[in-house]
Amino acid sequence: GFLGAGLILLGLISGAIFSWWFSRELRRLREYAFNVSQGQRAILTPGLIHSGELGQLAKALESMRNQLDGKAYIEQYVQTLTHELKSPLAGIRAASELLQSPMSEPQQQKFLANIESESLRLQQLIERLLNLALVEQQQSLQAPQNILLKPLIESLLDTRAARTARQHIQLQLTLDENAEVYGEKFLIEQALLNLLDNALDFTPTGGRIQIITRRTDKVWTIAVINQGEAVPDFALPRLTERFFSLPRPDTGR
């Protein structure tokens, strides 16, 4: 009698434990699927689900999420690319049509210069969008390392040397030799280039750009400070919005 009661009790306890475990795993799968359906970035923690059937279901959900993410990204990327390329292509087409008409040599040179500048703009747009695609599709750091900031910033400034000279920009650098950051070089370069390009876009001819590295509370801070109009209040909430920009002072774009 006692043996039978013990077996029944053991069976009830085992059933309760299994039921709790199974409910927990199903709840995690349900939450994961719900987050995916809401368009949120959901992560299915590995090693939580051990049974064959649930493991296969988890992998199927993970595969579905990756495919949906990829499809949505491609659609958004193509729409963005199409929108961004319309303006310079229209400028090139208009200039080429005008060049087919009789005009003076100074006028021809003007429209040829327009074609060249718009072609350069197209190239820059494509390069930026390709870099953005690499950044946005990356799910984790590929090769993080300690990066010295001074030589990195100086090398990035070299890539913008012609533009800096053309705009007669004065550079004031206060870069600590020991300043460093731990991260992926490509991503750090993209972040700093974005800051530098924005500073150049909105600094008037003959203006000044300061780049400073300083250590505060065991953290290295990079400051890029330019002369120019401050960001207006209405634009502040949109600073992190993809491709949002105020008109450039020199072109109005």
CB 125 within 8 A of CB 92: no
Q: What band does 21 get if pLDDT is binned at 50, 70 and 90?
A: low
The type of residue at 133 is: A
Count how many residues are written for the chain: 253
Question: Which region holds residue 168: left if phi is over 0, alpha if psi is between -120 and 50, else beta?
Answer: left
User: Which burial class, exposed, middle or buried, applies to 196 when counting CB atoms under 10 A from its CB (0-12, 13-18, 19+)?
Assistant: buried
Sign, Cα dihedral of 26, 32, 36, 39: positive
Q: What is the DSSP letter of 249?
A: T
pLDDT of residue 175: 95
Of 7-11, 107-111, 238-242, the range with the highest mean pLDDT is 107-111
Q: What is the DSSP letter of 45?
A: -
pLDDT of residue 73: 60
pLDDT of residue 179: 94
pLDDT of residue 90: 75
How open is the CA angle 133-136-137, to the nearest 5 degrees?
80
Cα separation, 216 vs 220, in Å, equals 6
Cα separation, 102 vs 114, in Å, equals 17
Task: Count CA atoms closer than 13 A to 21's CA, side-chain side.
Answer: 11
Q: What is the mean pLDDT of residues 30-53?
A: 59
State pLDDT tens for residues 172-230. 999 999 999 999 888 888 889 889 988 998 998 899 999 999 998 889 999 999 998 88
pLDDT of residue 47: 52
**Close Cβ partners of 98 (under 8 Å, ≥ 6 residues apart):** 111
pLDDT of residue 112: 85
